[in-house]
């Protein structure tokens, strides 16, 4: 059985000890004092000791026990202690792991910095200065600062709250408010408060890395205009990081991987729009994952991060790095509003061990934030997003009083305004929001006709107010369609009763992709596009006069999801999106070839064919049989209309229509 010996004394050492304790691993924890052991309780195969050992005592201790590995997580400045542990392990032939901290050198934004090699160097520098000093290097080297002139009034010492430490510091002359006895870690705000309380102009520290609160000291000094005096490390150590050590211990002790993953909606991007629960999850995470903008908003200094948003890559990384137990994935806005939360959660639930705990923490969405900003209620608004996805915004704006949408391209507001104007919706009022919650936030309103040339921020939102929405009544009368102008050849149009039945047979969904082959005036294409308002309709027509009519009707009914394809089918079908549905109203003798081309794109496509002549009916039935189409149904429709003859009415019959419905024989 493996048993680990951990020399602790640092935040990393205590964290490794707690990790082994919580996972029932066999271990012994050594610290220089009993202070660090107060949170650990001994149990079977887990023991603790709290006293200093010299090199000889270490060798004797290793000789008496059978440790499989030794972890040295002592302080970065305890060079002699590490040397003794390493030498004892070599003599007793026990594998040795040294946990080293990443040195966090302050950057230029962290204020005035003065580097010294050691504590005496710091004292010599401070002798040439005036003003109060906060010393955070501990009690062991505090005696050196007594050589400073008037040190009793200038120096404020922050040390551990141990009786022996307090007594030793008092013996040096540090008493009252000049002796701050507290246990870290200390936040930036706490450091600021101390510097401000005692009006310090200098802060003396060592580069103790992230775990030692070095970044928080740097940030506090910069924000208070205090000069840092940084004591450099005595040696450049070789070893492994805390996370690498944890991963090794996990393998050595066969500790199962039980990750806790929080999918966190971080709001607009400014910290003020994050919930307290979201802030806590991100702050306490072993690993923070997200796109660059999300990491910038949610990461804390020194925190391990992964710049990634793809669910597959995130899962792979977590499986490759089981040392991270608490993981937070930062997602923009709210996890339930056009978020990557759901597919990521599905992927993690399937790929991570069953012991994994996965939770979603909501955030403030752009919808909540923006609608509050313009003083409008969103409970009656239609919600849409064109950020990285297909969305028929023109349809939503035309059919509803209020529409909220997310855009994702530069100039998107101008492009949307141009489309609205082309469909007769130039009077629609647009409220626009850009860089929400950031210093460059911009919120304004104007009519669509005033914004056709507007170039704004790529990631923006809008709220469209249409005071005269037009709802689709379920059918459009023949008289509402634009027909041929005087002097032109007649372009055929499928009558409304036949259209209604043909559309019913198609069984369109809102996301359907439809072909209307032989579209004529585009009456059926327009009604297809109204029903498949989140999909796409391709109106295929070879006659130039008919092509222009289709475009006019598409403009009249604001069908932005209708695209006219001019040419002869099946040749012009090659570059089109694969259809879910296909209607054939005219084939020019190419019916079988058209069906073959459509089936090649989608073997499970649903097909409706309208035939007027018996010859076309025969051709259609032969094609259905040859191509082994399924669920075939044939309906004959005979429509008669009443015509007034004096005070009488006579029914006048239209040409009979054969409607053939079938589907492809294979699943897509």
- Domain 377-465 fold is 3.30.950
Ranges of each domain in the chain: 4-98, 108-231, 265-361, 377-465, 489-663
CATH superfamily, domain 489-663, is Vaccinia Virus protein VP39 (3.40.50.150)
**Sorting pLDDT into bands at 50, 70 and 90, what band is 597?**
very high
Out of 184-193, 345-354, 392-401, 520-529, which region has the weakest mean confidence (pLDDT)? 184-193
How far apart, in whole angstroms, are the C-alpha atoms of residue 533 and residue 51? Answer: 75
DSSP string, 127-179: TT--SEEEE-S-STTGGGGGGSTTHHHHEEEEE---HHHHHHHHHTT--GGGE
DSSP string, 166-222: HHHHHHTT--GGGEEE--S---HHHHHHHHHHTTEEEEEEE--TTTTTHHHHHHHHH
Among the four given CATH numbers 3.30.530, 3.40.50, 3.30.70, 2.60.40, the one describing domain 108-231: 3.40.50
Digit-coded pLDDT (tens) for 342-391: 999 999 999 999 999 999 999 999 999 999 999 999 988 999 887 666 67
How confident is the model at residue 140, as a pLDDT?
86
The mean pLDDT of 321-330, rounded to a whole number, is 95
CA-based nearest residue to 173, from 201, 154, 196:
154
Contact 520, 529 (CB under 8 A): no
Alpha helices by DSSP H, 272-340? 276-283, 292-298, 311-320
How confident is the model at residue 487, as a pLDDT?
45
**The pLDDT of residue 532 is above 90:** yes
Helix, strand, coil shares of the chain, percent, nearest 5, are: 35, 25, 40
Tokens of 512: 């359907």
CATH code for the part of the protein at 265-361? 3.40.1010.10
**The pLDDT of residue 76 is above 80:** no
CA distances from 297 to 8, 272, 318, 437, 522 (A): 33, 10, 22, 11, 50
How confident is the model at residue 467, as a pLDDT?
93
Tokens of 566: 């001019």
Residue 330 forms beta bridges with which residues? 264
Digit-coded pLDDT (tens) for 8-25: 878 788 889 989 998 999
**The pLDDT of residue 397 is above 60:** yes
How confident is the model at residue 109, as a pLDDT?
42
Q: What percent of the chain has pLDDT over 70?
A: 94
Out of 289-303, 482-496, 563-577, which region has the weakest mean confidence (pLDDT)? 482-496
How confident is the model at residue 41, as a pLDDT?
74
Q: What percent of the chain has pLDDT over 90?
A: 63
Same fold, 4-98 and 489-663: yes
The mean pLDDT of 548-563, rounded to a whole number, is 94
How confident is the model at residue 663, as a pLDDT?
95
The mean pLDDT of 536-560, rounded to a whole number, is 93
How confident is the model at residue 645, as a pLDDT?
86
DSSP string, 566-607: ES-TTGGGTTSPPPSEEEES--TT-HHHHHHHHHHH-TT-EE
Q: What are phi and psi of 414, to 5 degrees?
A: -65, -40
How confident is the model at residue 110, as a pLDDT?
44
How confident is the model at residue 101, as a pLDDT?
76
Pairing mode of beta strands 630-637, 442-447: unpaired
Q: Give the CATH architecture of domain 4-98.
A: 3-Layer(aba) Sandwich (3.40)
Contact 10, 75 (CB under 8 A): yes
The mean pLDDT of 141-164, rounded to a whole number, is 91
How confident is the model at residue 34, as a pLDDT?
67
How confident is the model at residue 365, as a pLDDT?
92
**The pLDDT of residue 477 is above 70:** yes
**Sorting pLDDT into bands at 50, 70 and 90, what band is 162?**
confident
**Sorting pLDDT into bands at 50, 70 and 90, what band is 111?**
very low
The mean pLDDT of 205-213, rounded to a whole number, is 73
The mean pLDDT of 553-580, rounded to a whole number, is 94
Q: Rounded mean pLDDT of the chain? A: 89
Out of 15-24, 219-228, 353-362, 552-561, which region has the weakest mean confidence (pLDDT)? 219-228
**The pLDDT of residue 210 is above 70:** no
**The pLDDT of residue 107 is above 50:** no
Digit-coded pLDDT (tens) for 404-452: 999 878 889 999 999 999 999 999 999 999 999 888 899 999 999 999 9
Q: Give the SS3 label for residue 636.
A: strand
Tokens of 10: 């640092």
**The pLDDT of residue 607 is above 90:** yes
Digit-coded pLDDT (tens) for 629-667: 999 999 999 888 888 888 888 888 888 999 999 998 765
Q: Is the pTM of this model over 0.85?
A: no
């Amino acid at each position: 059985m493996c048993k680990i010996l951990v020399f602790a004394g640092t935040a990393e050492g205590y964290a490794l000890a707690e990790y082994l304790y919580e996972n029932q691993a066999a271990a012994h924890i050594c610290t220089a004092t009993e202070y660090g052991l107060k949170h650990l309780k001994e149990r079977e195969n887990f023991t603790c000791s709290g006293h200093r050992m010299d090199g000889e005592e270490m060798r004797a201790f290793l000789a008496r026990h059978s440790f499989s590995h030794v972890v040295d997580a002592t302080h970065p400045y305890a060079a002699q202690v590490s040397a003794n542990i390493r030498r004892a392990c070599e003599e007793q032939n026990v594998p040795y792991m040294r946990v080293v901290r990443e040195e966090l050198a302050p950057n230029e934004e962290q204020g005035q910095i003065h580097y010294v090699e050691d504590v005496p160097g710091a004292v010599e520098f401070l002798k040439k200065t005036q003003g109060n000093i906060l010393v955070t290097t501990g009690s062991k080297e505090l005696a050196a600062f007594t050589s400073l002139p008037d040190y009793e009034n200038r120096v404020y010492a922050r040390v551990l709250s141990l009786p022996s430490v307090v007594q030793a510091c008092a013996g040096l002359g540090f008493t009252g408010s000049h002796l701050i006895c507290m246990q870290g870690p200390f936040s930036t705000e706490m450091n600021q408060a101390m510097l401000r309380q005692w009006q310090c102009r200098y802060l003396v520290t060592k580069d103790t890395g992230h775990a030692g609160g070095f970044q928080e000291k740097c940030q506090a000094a910069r924000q208070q205009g205090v000069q840092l005096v940084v004591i450099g490390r005595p040696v450049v150590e070789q070893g492994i990081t805390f996370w690498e050590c944890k991963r090794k211990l996990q393998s050595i002790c066969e500790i199962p991987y039980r990750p806790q993953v929080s999918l966190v909606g971080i709001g607009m991007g400014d910290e003020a729009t994050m919930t307290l629960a979201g802030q806590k999850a991100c702050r306490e995470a072993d690993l923070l994952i997200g796109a660059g903008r999300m990491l910038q908003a949610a990461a804390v200094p020194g925190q391990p991060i992964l710049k990634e948003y793809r669910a597959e890559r995130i899962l792979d990384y977590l499986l490759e790095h089981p040392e991270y137990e608490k993981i937070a994935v930062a997602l923009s806005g709210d996890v339930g509003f056009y978020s990557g939360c759901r597919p990521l959660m599905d992927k993690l639930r399937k790929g991570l061990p069953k012991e994994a705990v996965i939770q979603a923490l909501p955030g403030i969405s752009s919808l909540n934030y923006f609608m509050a900003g313009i003083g409008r209620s969103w409970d009656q608004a239609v919600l849409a997003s064109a950020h990285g996805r297909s969305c028929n915004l023109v349809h939503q704006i035309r059919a509803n009083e209020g529409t909220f949408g997310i855009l994702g391209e530069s100039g998107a507001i101008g492009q949307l305004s141009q489309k609205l104007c082309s469909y007769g919706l130039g009077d629609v009022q647009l409220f626009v929001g850009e860089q929400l919650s950031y210093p460059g936030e911009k919120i304004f309103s104007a009519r669509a006709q005033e914004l056709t040339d507007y170039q704004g921020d790529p990631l923006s939102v809008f709220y469209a107010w249409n005071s005269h929405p037009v709802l689709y009544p379920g059918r459009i009368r023949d008289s509402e369609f634009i027909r041929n102008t005087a002097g032109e050849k007649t372009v055929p149009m499928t009558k409304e009763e036949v259209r209604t039945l043909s559309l019913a047979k198609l069984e369109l969904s809102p996301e359907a992709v439809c072909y209307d082959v032989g579209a004529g005036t585009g009456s059926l294409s327009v009604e297809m596009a109204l029903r498949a308002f989140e999909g796409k309709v391709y109106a295929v027509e070879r006659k130039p006069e008919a092509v222009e009519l289709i475009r006019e009707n598409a403009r009249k009914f604001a069908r932005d999801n209708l695209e006219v394809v001019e040419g002869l089918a099946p040749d012009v079908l090659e570059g089109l999106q694969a259809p879910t549905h296909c209607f054939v109203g005219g084939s020019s003798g190419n019916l079988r070839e058209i069906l073959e081309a459509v089936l090649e794109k989608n073997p499970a496509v649903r097909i409706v064919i309208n035939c007027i002549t018996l010859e076309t009916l025969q051709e259609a039935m032969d094609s259905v049989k040859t191509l082994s189409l399924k669920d075939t149904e044939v309906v004959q429709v005979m429509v008669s209309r009443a015509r007034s003859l004096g005070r009488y009415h006579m029914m006048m019959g239209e040409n009979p229509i054969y409607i053939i419905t079938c589907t492809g024989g294979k699943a897509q």
